[in-house]
Amino acid sequence: MAVTLTAMALLLISCGGGDELTSVTGAVELPASVEEITQCEPGEIDGELNLYIWAGYIDPGLVTAFEEEYGVDVVEDFYVSNEALLAKLRSGAIYDVIVPSDYMVKAMIEEDLLAALQTGALPNIANLAPMFLDPAYDPAGVHSVAYQWGTVGLALNVNDVGEGYEASWALLFDPALIAEYPSGVSLLDDSRQTLGAALKYLGYSLNSTSEAELEEAAGVIANANEYVTSYDKDFYERSLVADEVTVAHGSSKKLNRSFDDSDRPASFKSLLPEEGAAVWIDAMAVPKNADHPCTAFTFIDFILDAENGATLTNWSFYASPNQASKPFIDPEILEDETIYPSEELSDRLEMIEDTGDFEINYTDYFAIAKS
């Protein structure tokens, strides 16, 4: 079942202080066809943990706490992209827990690289907000558990854009605005994300299956193309802090981290356009060839603990999918609308969904828009 906007709205209302979201009281039932032969008990350890994760994406204190609580070593390895992770698994590398992004979870499921979750070993899965139990990229959450989530919006050099700007995709797409910038803009080199942003700018769904709407969105991109310095999905945050672009389109995760690493973080600001934006989710999963699956599930359950989930968010400044963590998350994080969007904006957030045979139209119109 695809994630709905209503589900997303309920999630964000819950994170922002509402009572509308009810708690989940039990673990998800797995179909018999995907039950694992090896059955792990909650808290069971069967060896050290080999963790493959993005660099700088887990609080070292949590790693130490897990090692001390369970008397086991955590061996960390790091990757720079989802594609690098996929290539490593395809080559036969062995890890116990990996942390891929939503679209990569789907790709790995299709390649039969992921083990089914042993939900009996994950009692804390009940802490997740309902929408994370049935994501579009992994229906029924059979192979993955949400780790952190955020949005795909934009960031700008506030000194170069000047005062009085509106939180709108116009900052990327309105030629009259962009022409005044000292440098151009960067758009994601991703047909679904960039056409999706243009669709939101026009007031449409980023999952539109209307060719007329898609053609209109491609026209928005084409009209701004003169001022697009680069189509980039790898280094756009570096271009922004290096003053190579004035406004960059990208993941809140990468953009916010780049500000912290710069020598003038106050010069940059990320924002969610008032027209709405896309949502990203990173997830924890266990590869089929994991050497220590019981330790892996124990680690995932450890992260799903309410207080541990809050510790992760308080350290990373990314939104937590853990509904039970809310009372332990720093108030300034919960009140930051670039991390936890307002109730009003939450209605305009969408996850990218597979449009089936219509996908080729996104590829074709994006190529036309860029040319």
CATH architecture of 5-17+44-144+285-340: 3-Layer(aba) Sandwich (3.40)
Q: What is the pLDDT of residues 51-93, one digit of tens each?
A: 999 988 999 999 999 999 999 999 999 998 888 999 999 999 9
| 210 vs 104: CA distance, rounded Å | 26
In this predicted structure, what is the pLDDT of residue 118?
95
Is there a contact between 160 and 182 (Cβ–Cβ < 8 Å)? Answer: yes
For residue 337, what are its two tokens? 């609308």
Is there a contact between 40 and 172 (Cβ–Cβ < 8 Å)? Answer: no
Q: What is the pLDDT of residues 147-195, one digit of tens each?
A: 999 999 999 999 999 889 999 999 999 999 999 999 999 999 999 999 9
Domain ranges of the chain: 5-17+44-144+285-340, 150-279+349-370
Is there a contact between 315 and 328 (Cβ–Cβ < 8 Å)? Answer: no
Q: At which residue do the structure tokens 């990314």 appear?
A: 318
Selecting from 3.40.50.720, 3.90.1300.10, 2.40.110.10, 3.40.190.10, what CATH number does the domain 150-279+349-370 have? 3.40.190.10
For residue 80, what are its two tokens? 């720079």
Range with lowest mean pLDDT among 234-243, 249-258, 318-327: 249-258
In this predicted structure, what is the pLDDT of residue 252?
82
| 149 vs 86: CA distance, rounded Å | 20
Classify burial at 60, counting beta carbons within 10 Å of its beta carbon; exposed 0-12, middle 13-18, buried 19 or more. exposed
Beta bridge partners of 150: 280
Closest CA to 149 of 288, 295, 346, 290: 346
Per-residue b/e over 150-169, b at no fewer than 16 CB within 10 Å?
bbbbbbbbeeebeeeeebbb
In this predicted structure, what is the pLDDT of residue 221?
98
Range with lowest mean pLDDT among 27-36, 325-334, 354-363: 27-36
Q: What is the pLDDT of residues 290-308, one digit of tens each?
A: 999 999 999 999 999 999 9
Closest CA to 324 of 132, 191, 150: 132
Closest CA to 294 of 32, 47, 28: 47
95: Cβ contacts below 8 Å, ≥ 6 apart: 50, 51, 52, 77, 89, 287, 290
pTM for the whole structure: 0.78
Domains 5-17+44-144+285-340 and 150-279+349-370 share a fold: yes
In this predicted structure, what is the pLDDT of residue 38?
66
Is there a contact between 5 and 317 (Cβ–Cβ < 8 Å)? Answer: no
Helix (H, G, I), strand (E, B) or coil at 237: helix
Q: At which residue do the structure tokens 């997303």 appear?
A: 8
Is there a contact between 338 and 318 (Cβ–Cβ < 8 Å)? Answer: no
Per-residue b/e over 286-304, b at no fewer than 16 CB within 10 Å?
bbeebebbbbbbbbbbbbb
| 305 vs 41: CA distance, rounded Å | 16
In this predicted structure, what is the pLDDT of residue 67?
98
